[in-house]
Amino acid sequence: MNKQEQYFRELKSFFWENNMPPDEFQLERLAYFASIITKKNEELNLISRSDVKNIVENHIFLSCLIKKFFQYKFTKFLDIGTGGGFPGIPFAITSPMTSGVLVDSIAKKTTAVQEFVDKLKLLSVKVENMRVESPEFIAKYKESFDLIISRATVPVIILVRYSLPIIKERAFILAIKGGDLQAEIKTAEIKYKAHIKKATTFEMAYKPSNIRNEKDKKLVMLELIR
């Protein structure tokens, strides 16, 4: 069994065990993405080299899992700080009827992500090497997105600040984060009371290896109004 076949089987198992009936074609593309990013990671540090063996669980599947908690319709998403393409590329693969933009300020990362997008033939996905808070980005994408996603390293309050100029009248933020988030979310709610309609935090527990969320992954969902 080659690596891509192994990734396919791992993904299929995770999807079925967590009541997410998989689309075989999407699984094939996700497995292909896992294979090309692990190969690229040998020359460019897109994910921690110690974590490559966990590429399916910690990166690909986790990026797909956020959709289990989000049942709203959307048409165009933005992945802020996409890095190696997470969660944006898996999210795009499993959301084929939508379009997306993956943005990162580090050129060598967006060059790699563009390569992945081209190989995966994600025709509705655009990659931008820009700062999301820059006047140029805001001018280009003003009022464009109804969904913002991120594996957030920045505080929630910063994500909200980045999002407000570029969202439609109503939008959502989905941010994968860890740790105690209560104070962080409260600070954002106080600052942006007029714009945050609702804030919800989900425990990203899953079978078989994170049933009690020992990995401490949470999904912050904010409903925003501009």
110 contact partners, CB below 8 Å, separation of at least 6: 82, 102, 103, 104, 127, 128, 129
What 3-state class would DSSP assign to 1? coil
| 151 close to 81: Cβ distance less than 8 angstroms | yes
What 3-state class would DSSP assign to 25? helix
pLDDT on residue 152: 73
**pLDDT-based confidence at 50, cuts 50/70/90?**
confident
Query: How long a stretch of residues is the chain?
Result: 226
Helices (H) and strands (E) in the chain, counts: 8, 7
Number of domains forming the structure of the chain:
1
Q: Is residue 31 part of a domain?
A: no
1 pLDDT more than 80: no
Q: What is the CATH number of the domain that holds 118?
A: 3.40.50.150
**pLDDT-based confidence at 59, cuts 50/70/90?**
very high
Alpha-carbon gap, residue 154 to 125, rounded angstroms: 23
**pLDDT-based confidence at 57, cuts 50/70/90?**
very high
Chain-centroid distance, C-alpha 202: 15
Q: Is residue 183 part of a domain?
A: yes
17 pLDDT more than 90: yes
Helical ranges in the chain per DSSP H: 3-17, 24-40, 62-65, 88-93, 107-119, 135-141, 156-163, 182-191
pLDDT on residue 95: 96
Q: Is residue 55 part of a domain?
A: no
88 pLDDT more than 80: yes
**pLDDT-based confidence at 153, cuts 50/70/90?**
confident
Alpha-carbon gap, residue 169 to 25, rounded angstroms: 34
Domain residues for the domain of 214 are 63-225
201 contact partners, CB below 8 Å, separation of at least 6: 181, 185, 218, 219, 220, 221
Which tokens go with 51?
Answer: 């974590």
Q: Is residue 119 part of a domain?
A: yes
Q: Is residue 33 part of a domain?
A: no
Burial (0-12, 13-18, 19+ Cβ within 10 Å), 202: middle
Tell me the pLDDT of the chain averaged across its residues. 96
| Geometric angle at alpha carbon 65, from 59 and 71, rounded to 5° | 145
Q: Is residue 9 part of a domain?
A: no
Q: Is residue 43 part of a domain?
A: no
What are the two backbone dihedrals, phi and then psi, of residue 189, each rounded to the nearest 5 degrees? -65, -35
Q: What is the mean pLDDT of residues 210-223?
A: 97
Q: Is residue 47 part of a domain?
A: no
